[in-house]
A and B are shown apart, each in its own frame.
Chain A
Amino acid sequence: MTISRHDIEKVAVLARIRVDDEQVSALEKDLGNILDLVDQLGAADTDSVEPMAHPLDAVQRLRADEVTETDQREQFQAIAPATENGLYLVPRVIE
């Protein structure tokens, strides 16, 4: 299955990964091969089959509404790339 350059560029934007022209060419080939592999799924008859999201039929356990966390800002921001006055800094966002 071929994947077009346009599709690759679109997907790269969705995934927020910059790709240059050379990379797009390489990806055309590689992703095309992977999608060829994946196309084999088409052969399976899955008409009356339920999708399986989890291996076991377990159900979600709910957590009691009690505060268990303390202020760890200092430790977390010690490993942050850019902070100021306790805030994480990113290039200005215009809404």
Chain B
Amino acid sequence: MQWDIVIGLEIHVQLATRTKIFSGSSTAYGAEPNTQANAVDLAMPGTLPVPNEQAFRYAVMFGLAVNAEIERRSMFERKNYFYPDLPKGYQTTQLERPIVGPGYVDIDLANGETKRVRIHHAHLEEDAGKSLHEDFHGMTGVDLNRAGTPLIEVVTEPDMTNAEQAVAFAKKLHGIVTSLGICDGDMSQGSMRFDVNISLKPKGSETLGTRTETKNLNSFRFMEQAIAHEVERQMEILEDGGTIVQETRLYNGDRDESRSMRTKEEANDYRYFPCPDLLPVVIDDSFIDEARNSLPELPDARKARFMDQYGLNDYDADLLAGDSKLAAFFEAAAERGKDAKLASNWVQGEFSARLNAEERSVADSPVSGTQLGDLVVRIADNTISSAGAKKVFEALWSGENDSVDAIIDSQGLKQVSDTGALESMVDEVLATMPDQVAQYQQESDPKKQKKMLGGFMGPLMKASKGQGNPKLFNEILVKKLGG
């Protein structure tokens, strides 16, 4: 039996406003528990909500960036349920008239095609607090610092048909919100959380299957794994003739396991109704125009510019333009010299590999874009070899020195590229290795010949005290050895 996979995403984006959505408490990360929770956040009796203008501005910017209609008269509803991290016993959210209406995001697929993922809507709501289940002698501890932080919840149509598309969309969305500056995009801190709705249907069928929701995935890798896991789980059930239970599941990425969240017998009846403490929010033309004028460069536009301005190819431009911090880093590097492609290689290669290995984000990089750019300049002008470049990078990363030239000097990495000097060195070395020269010249297989060149490199590097430009040595060797 062949199956179609149907995937929809709900993404919670924590907005980078200074204060909460309904109170003037700070949203700064990392504060001591309950030190950023005022009377309103704690749902003290008699307290009332007053919405944050910036949250609406950010929501409107988001709507414009995803080609959506902006709701001119949006409202808030109460979603009623009981949980310790929800002080009022209801969450203030939007249902009937969310601030952002239907929109879309186009994603690029590996096969070169573009796919449009439709956004059903995006709405503003307040985040809940945090429950800490570590040992408080059998109790759970509740921290309400996060309660009231503004969220945009983005809901897509079930347009995605495999994990690749879902991850591509998620990354695109991440790029958009970070480029807009409305979210810091730090998924390890929970700034973006993904819920994945998955269902299967017989291939070509028009009827959607029962879907499950896997909640709170906070990395692209986990999302990919979770999708694969859930698709397999559902397929097994369906192929055994079973039915899928509509439920919410939690996925454990470290163990590649999922389980059903404990559900009550009665599915939660949220009893939505318009919040009587809040009035309709009217967004007028000037508010939207101001937001539009403040839009920074978005990933798609940036990608096009990178291809044009720096001559990057589609693949490189796409990778570098997607994340605003990485894009800024790359540009700082590329601007230092004239070899944008080399800068691009280093950013995507050595630099990114090092970040990943140390689980750092670009923001935490000990090396700046300009430093990397200076390094690239010195490679491009042949001052250092690629071996030397690695040493310089290491020194920059460890903070040994922050000037590329100073490191080159102190470590004596400047390579000799004076062809005249190099030629005489080659002549000298070759003169001391007549047998190897003969072997080389008698060898008919070019591949084997190429390997033999390596045998001369050692003595040549020694002769040049490690400063000979290896590329040039190679060229000179080939020329002089002939054959």
Contacts and interface: CB of A to CB of B under 8 A. Distances in A.
In the complex they form, whether A and B have CB atoms below 8 Å apart is answered with yes
Interface of A: 10, 13-14, 16, 53-54, 58-69, 71-73, 76-77, 82, 84-95
Contacts, number: 125
Contact of A61 (B23, B36, B50): B50
Given A58-B279, A59-B279, 19 more contacts: A13-B264, A54-B276, A59-B282, A62-B281, A66-B18, A67-B19, A69-B23, A76-B42, A84-B139, A84-B141, A87-B33, A88-B84, A88-B142, A88-B144, A89-B140, A90-B142, A92-B138, A92-B140, A93-B83
B279 A65 contact: no
Q: A interface, by DSSP: helix, strand, loop or mixed?
A: loop
A92 B56 CA distance: 36
A94 B136 CA distance: 14
A93 B84 contact: yes
A61 B48 CA distance: 13
A88 B132 CA distance: 10
Nearest to A68: B24
Interface of B: 17-19, 23-26, 32-39, 42, 44, 50-56, 80, 82-84, 131-133, 136, 138-144, 250, 261-262, 264, 266, 269, 271, 274, 276, 278-282
B19 A86 contact: no
A62 B51 contact: yes
A1 to B, nearest CB: 19
A69 B132 CA distance: 24
Give chain B's interface secondary structure class. Answer: loop
Given A54-B276, A60-B281, A92 B139 contact: yes
Contacts of B24: 63, 66-69
Nearest to B132: A87
A13 B25 contact: no
Contacts of A94: 133, 262
A84 B18 contact: no
